[in-house]
Amino acid sequence: MRRESGIMSRREHMRREANMERVSEGTASPSPTWGLWKRWMMPIGLSLSVILGIGLGVWISGGTSARQSARPLQVSESRVAPTGALATALALSEAFAQVARQVEPAVVHIETEAIRTGRRSEEDPFDFFFGPRGRPRRGTGSGVIVDPEGYILTNYHVIRGASTIRVKTFDGKTYTPEVIGVDPETDLAVIKISRSEPFPYARMGDSNKLRVGDWVLAIGSPFGLEQTVTAGIISAKDRITDGENAPFQRFLQTDAAINPGNSGGPLVNLMGEVVGINTQISTSTGYFNGVGFALPSSLAVEVYNQLVRRGRVARGYLGVYVKPVTPPIARLNGLKEPQGALVESVTDPESPAARAGLQTGDIIVELDGEPVRDSRDLTRRVASMDVGRTVRLKYIRDGREYVTSVKLGVRPSLADRREEPLRDEPRGKNAQPPEERKSSGPPRLGAKLEPVTPHVADVLKLGAVRGAVVGEIEEESFAETLGLMPGDVILSINRTEIRSPEDVKRVFEGLKSGDDVVMIVARASRGVGPSRSVLSGTIP
SS3 of residue 181 by DSSP: strand
Count the residues in the chain. 540
3-state secondary structure of 85: helix
Pairing assessment for the beta strands 447-451 and 468-473 based on DSSP bridges:
antiparallel
Pairing verdict, β 489-493 and 496-497: antiparallel
Which sign, positive or negative, has the C-alpha torsion 153, 156, 158, 163? positive
Which candidate in 157, 297, 362, 503 is catalytic? Answer: 157
Answer yes or no: are the C-beta atoms of 137 and 119 closer than 8 Å: no
- The 3-state DSSP class for residue 38 equals helix
Please tell me which residue in 207, 221, 235, 263 is annotated as part of the active site. Answer: 263
Backbone angles phi, psi at 118, to 5 degrees: -160, -165
**DSSP alpha helix (H) spans, 384-422:** none
Residue 212: CB atoms within 10 A of its CB come to: 11
Q: CA–CA distance from 142 to each of 63, 164, 175, 280, 451 (Å)?
A: 55, 15, 14, 12, 57
Tell me, rounded to whole angstroms, the distance of Cα 539 from its chain centroid.
Answer: 37
| 157 is known as an active-site residue | yes
Strand 370-371 vs strand 363-367: parallel, antiparallel, or unpaired?
antiparallel
Q: Which of 187, 362, 424, 503 is catalytic?
A: 187
CA neighbor of 175 nearest in space, from 218, 143, 203, 204 = 143
CB atoms within 10 A of CB 318: 28
Q: Note if 13 is an active site residue.
A: no
Residues 6+ apart with CB under 8 A from 361: 342, 343, 397, 518, 520, 534
**Catalytic residue positions, numbered:** 157, 187, 263
